[in-house]
Amino acid sequence: MDLSVNFAGIKMKNPVTTASGTFGSGAEYGDFVDLNKLGAVTTKGVSSVPWQGNQTPRICETYGGMLNAIGLQNPGIDLFIERDLAFLKQYDTKIIVNVCGRTIEEYIEVVERLADTSVDMLEINISCPNVKAGGIAFGQNPELARQVADSIKQHARQPVIMKLSPNVTDIAEMARAVEAGGADAVSLVNTFTGMKIDINKRKFALANKTGGLSGPAIKPVALRMVYEAAHAVKIPVLGMGGISCAEDALEFIMAGATMVAVGTANFNNPAVTEEIIDGIKSFMEENGINSVKEITGCVS
């Protein structure tokens, strides 16, 4: 039985990675998960210089989900390469680096710094709802998204995944736009912009007023969008949004995702990624499935 997948030319030992921002660079989860077992680790977004992030509270729980407005706090590319990448290189897993920026030039600066490293893939974050410039501003306009993909492709040495926002009218159009810009893959969905109010304090639960909704609450919508994107483009799809068990992961695969990412579920169970990989394997064994490819996009 073959759990491996070919994702935009990169061979992953299985179709499971982590969703950016929920797993740091893996170091904090090493006590709970054997990082060697993951198809890939997708890192938290990294920018050209350190970012401070938003004010607290940055987190609140909602029914079956959570809102976050971290604001892409990160150490910047220098410390990231020196520390986080050096850490990840010790493991037998692929490395997907999530890249963020306020301008196209900032994205390119990070992409160029990563050119000569052992990073396997780049995931370009044009969908963070919690930062004012860059982020989602690029992810809600098809022409801007195409331009970002096109500019980055001219500088990237690794395959480029464009991470899409669900906060759009037509996800298929966004997927087609980045494909036209030369993207090697798309990943979706990032979080849905949401809000919570503390009625006793008469205040927003988050200092940023709004935050990104994630967790099981978004899964059906995310699945629908992954299905639509997978049918709109020829490039492979990395599907995510509320995946918290093997059944969820298999739904995304059957909807057309070549790979899946596990995010918020890591907060509920830090060992969940390994459990999902084992669960996919069991399902394949029980159903006589020899390769993940057999079921990728099988529901259409």
Partner 1 sequence: MAYIESQVKLADGIYSMWIKFPETCSIRKAVPGQFISMYSKDGSRLLPRPISICETDAINNMLRVVYRIAGKGTEEFSHMAAGDGISVIAPLGNGFNINNKGKKALLIGGGIGIPPMLGLSAALKGDVTAVLGYRDGSLFLKEDFTPYAKVYIATEDGSAGVKGNVIDAVKHYGISADIIYACGPLPMLRGVKAFAQENGIEAQVSLEERMACGIGACLGCVCSSKEKDTHTNVNNKRICKDGPVFDAMEIEI
Cα distance between residue 265 and residue 263, in whole Å: 5
Q: Hey, what amino acid is at 154? A: Q
* CA 235 and chain centroid, separation: 16
Of 16 and 70, which CB lies nearer to partner 1 in the complex structure? 70
Task: Give the shortest CB-205-to-partner 1 separation in angstroms.
Answer: 8
Task: Give the shortest CB-216-to-partner 1 separation in angstroms.
Answer: 7
Q: Is 198 left (phi over 0), alpha (psi -120 to 50) or beta?
A: beta
The token pair at 26 is: 């893996």
Task: Give the shortest CB-294-to-partner 1 separation in angstroms.
Answer: 30
Q: Clarify whether 60 is annotated catalytic.
A: no
Of 41 and 124, which CB lies nearer to partner 1 in the complex structure? 41
- Say how many Å lie between the first and final Cα of the chain, rounded: 24
Which residue bears the tokens 């907060």?
Answer: 267
Full 3-state SS string of 279-296: HHHHHHHHCCCCEHHHCC
Of 38 and 265, which CB lies nearer to partner 1 in the complex structure? 265
Judged by the rule CB under 8 A, the positions of this chain that interact with partner 1 are 21-24, 28-29, 31, 44, 50-53, 56-61, 63-66, 68, 70, 73-76, 79, 215-216, 264-270
Task: Give the shortest CB-95-to-partner 1 separation in angstroms.
Answer: 16
Of 58 and 163, which CB lies nearer to partner 1 in the complex structure? 58
Catalytic-role residue among 100, 128, 245, 298:
128
- Catalytically annotated residues: 128
